[in-house]
Amino acid sequence: MEINKERFGVEFIVRDYECDLQGVVNNANYQHYLEHARHEYLFSRGINFVDLHNEGIDLIVTRVEIDYKYPLRSRDRFVVKIDIQREGNARLVFIQDLYRIPDDKLIVQARVTGVATKNGRPVQPGKIISMLGLG
Amino acid sequence: MEINKERFGVEFIVRDYECDLQGVVNNANYQHYLEHARHEYLFSRGINFVDLHNEGIDLIVTRVEIDYKYPLRSRDRFVVKIDIQREGNARLVFIQDLYRIPDDKLIVQARVTGVATKNGRPVQPGKIISMLGLG
Amino acid sequence: MEINKERFGVEFIVRDYECDLQGVVNNANYQHYLEHARHEYLFSRGINFVDLHNEGIDLIVTRVEIDYKYPLRSRDRFVVKIDIQREGNARLVFIQDLYRIPDDKLIVQARVTGVATKNGRPVQPGKIISMLGLG
Amino acid sequence: MEINKERFGVEFIVRDYECDLQGVVNNANYQHYLEHARHEYLFSRGINFVDLHNEGIDLIVTRVEIDYKYPLRSRDRFVVKIDIQREGNARLVFIQDLYRIPDDKLIVQARVTGVATKNGRPVQPGKIISMLGLG
């Protein structure tokens, strides 16, 4: 699989506290990386996760699928690449792939489904969809 | 869905630091809960995750699927229930459901696939499979 | 040093994800343990950290001093013991000691100073001080 | 207090998952930032924390003092500045100050004391001290 250099990406370096006693990044931390990359992606489109929350609109993850292909270790550099798709009326799907830098080795593939809720109830996020160019 | 009271379970209480700025448990922390429950389950069958690591055998997660049904909040009590299945020769699949206590509300459903590796290469974990009663 | 069995305490077990690549609990996680124990202590006195936040009152840590005496490892059980003192008009000081179970080995000694703020400004937490029996 | 621009520094941006239900970075996460900055500092001097561990030498934190001056929020950028001193024969003291970017507001001041251990026993880290220019 080749990296599409056009896709939005966020770069990271592994911090030692993110590694567990197996000496590799703990599985849960990949969800942290993926979340941070999504929020940066949204921000690049003018969508601020926290501002939305303060307006009563929450972007909520309803499902994650993550395939762990190869472990990251201390000080490894990597990039999380993101695509976004609509699924039905209400759901957004983030396709997120994580590659080690500089050898482009595929580390993790993820598919993260989300919805927008207003005061706890799902809403169709028209404005968000349009800001994401999916409208 | 009803809880099968016979299944192995581990009880937790939400700690405030596990909640994020949306006021609910951050998605990644469910992977922490699920991992801790798996390790407790293995331990109950005489399998010590760390001892195995020190012998060069690592239990590795290769895939997670998590459905987030309902959020947990500060001080919520909950239980992670576990079943285990074989998949092919080398893979173990953990079926993990997380229920709030005491109302048994379904919070998260997860399917976590793992393999055993020895010095980085997959091995058929015969002894582990037999200790888990799957042999 | 002997444990004062009368002091309020919260029991924990080390979860594997809390250990880092040195094979011991990562230093930052002790702050998590200490925080959870403080919130449980406050709750035992009728003070709910989250409810206070939702009323605009935040309990804020202004200083921590932590002495790390001995490391915790996978599956170690331990207790965090708590005493509380006033310091001046506005500050509360939590004296927190962490002991391994069952051998009472001293693991960590901490002194955590906090203040109450209302909408970001320090306030004298009269009601809290009285609920803590320090009034 | 002015920032000494000559001091070694590591830049970060707050990630949303590092914030807790008070909407600010959770106190424990500052220890993560401080640790990562120390390891980067050591690395800049040719000292690799993980390689040392694999040789049986562990750099261990024995005491932290942290003053929390002002909270960080979602997406805040900041820098951790580091100085290092010897204390007695065996101890190293890291003076670490965290400033928000770009306004240089002081967020956290920390003093972190560490020792080197070999197979669990303190050693005088002659080579490390010389690589740090403290010999």
The 3-class SS string of C21-46 reads: CCCEECHHHHHHHHHHHHHHHHHHCC
Task: Judge contact between C90 and C115, C-beta under 8 A.
Answer: yes
CB contact under 8 A, D68 and C58: no
The pLDDT value given to residue C113: 98
For D38-83, what is each residue's pLDDT tens digit?
Answer: 999 999 999 999 999 998 999 999 999 999 999 999 999 999 999 9
Identity of residue A25: V
Across chain D, what does the average pLDDT equal? 93
Would you say residue C3 has pLDDT above 90? no
The pLDDT value given to residue B90: 85
Q: Assess: ipTM above 0.90.
A: yes
Would you put residue A56 in left (φ > 0), alpha (ψ -120 to 50) or beta? left
Q: Which candidate, C79, C43, C77, places its Cα nearest to that of C59?
A: C43
Measure Cα distances from B132 to B70, B85, C43 in Å: 31, 9, 40
What's the distance, CA B49 to chain centroid? 13
The pLDDT value given to residue B135: 77
CB contact under 8 A, A16 and C16: no
* Cα–Cα distance for residue pair A78/A101, rounded to 1 Å: 5
* Cα–Cα distance for residue pair D83/D9, rounded to 1 Å: 9
Percent of chain A with pLDDT over 90: 81
For C104-130, what is each residue's pLDDT tens digit?
Answer: 999 999 999 999 999 878 888 888 889
The pLDDT value given to residue B41: 97
The pLDDT value given to residue B126: 84
Measure Cα distances from A41 to A34, B64, B84, C58 in Å: 10, 23, 37, 32
Least CB-CB distance to B28: which of A28, A60, A67? A28
User: What values do phi and psi take at D93, rounded to 5?
Assistant: -120, 125
The pLDDT value given to residue D77: 98
Q: By CB neighbour count within 10 A (0-12 exposed, 13-18 middle, 19+ buried), where does A96 fall? A: buried
Task: Judge contact between A21 and C19, C-beta under 8 A.
Answer: yes
Q: By CB neighbour count within 10 A (0-12 exposed, 13-18 middle, 19+ buried), where does B129 fall? A: middle
Would you say residue A115 has pLDDT above 70? yes
The pLDDT value given to residue A6: 81
The pLDDT value given to residue B82: 97
Least CB-CB distance to A23: which of C16, C21, C74? C21
For B54-70, what is each residue's pLDDT tens digit?
Answer: 989 999 999 999 999 99
What's the distance, CA D62 to chain centroid? 13
- A122 pLDDT tier (thresholds 50, 70, 90): confident
Would you say residue A11 has pLDDT above 90? yes
Q: Which residues of C touch B41 (CB under 8 A)?
A: none
Active-site residue identified among D20, D51, D67, D104 = D20
Coil, helix or strand at residue A25: strand
If interface means Cβ-Cβ distance under 8 Å, which residues of chain C face chain B? 15-17, 23, 32, 35-36, 39, 43, 48-50, 73-75
Q: Which residues of D touch C65 (CB under 8 A)?
A: 63-65
The pLDDT value given to residue B75: 97
Would you say residue A1 has pLDDT above 70? no
CB contact under 8 A, D16 and A74: no
Q: Which of A12-16, B27-31, B118-122 has the lowest mean pLDDT?
A: B118-122
What integer is the mean pLDDT of D107-116? 97
Would you say residue A22 has pLDDT above 70? yes
Q: Which candidate, C105, C93, C104, places its Cα nearest to that of C34?
A: C93
Would you say residue C98 has pLDDT above 90? yes
Would you say residue D104 has pLDDT above 60? yes
Across chain B, what does the average pLDDT equal? 93
For B51-110, what is each residue's pLDDT tens digit?
Answer: 999 989 999 999 999 999 999 999 999 999 999 999 988 899 999 999 999 999 999 999
* Cα–Cα distance for residue pair B102/C40, rounded to 1 Å: 19
The pLDDT value given to residue C94: 97
- Kindly report the pTM of this predicted structure: 0.96
Task: Judge contact between B108 and B89, C-beta under 8 A.
Answer: no
If interface means Cβ-Cβ distance under 8 Å, which residues of chain A face chain C? 16-17, 19-21, 23, 26, 28, 74
The pLDDT value given to residue D3: 64
Per the document, the length of chain C is 135
Task: Judge contact between D92 and D85, C-beta under 8 A.
Answer: yes
Task: Judge contact between A41 and A92, C-beta under 8 A.
Answer: no
Would you say residue D1 has pLDDT above 60? no
Measure Cα distances from C128 to C52, C84, C110, C135 in Å: 10, 12, 22, 9
Task: Judge contact between A43 and D75, C-beta under 8 A.
Answer: yes
The pLDDT value given to residue A120: 79
Would you put residue C109 in left (φ > 0), alpha (ψ -120 to 50) or beta? beta
Q: Which residues of B touch D19 (CB under 8 A)?
A: 20-21
The pLDDT value given to residue A135: 77
- D2 pLDDT tier (thresholds 50, 70, 90): low
The pLDDT value given to residue D90: 85
- State the count of interchain CB pairs (< 8 A) between C and D: 54
Q: Which candidate, A63, C26, B74, B21, places its Cα nearest to that of D17?
A: B21
Coil, helix or strand at residue C4: coil
The pLDDT value given to residue B117: 93
Would you say residue C90 has pLDDT above 90? no
Would you say residue B1 has pLDDT above 70? no
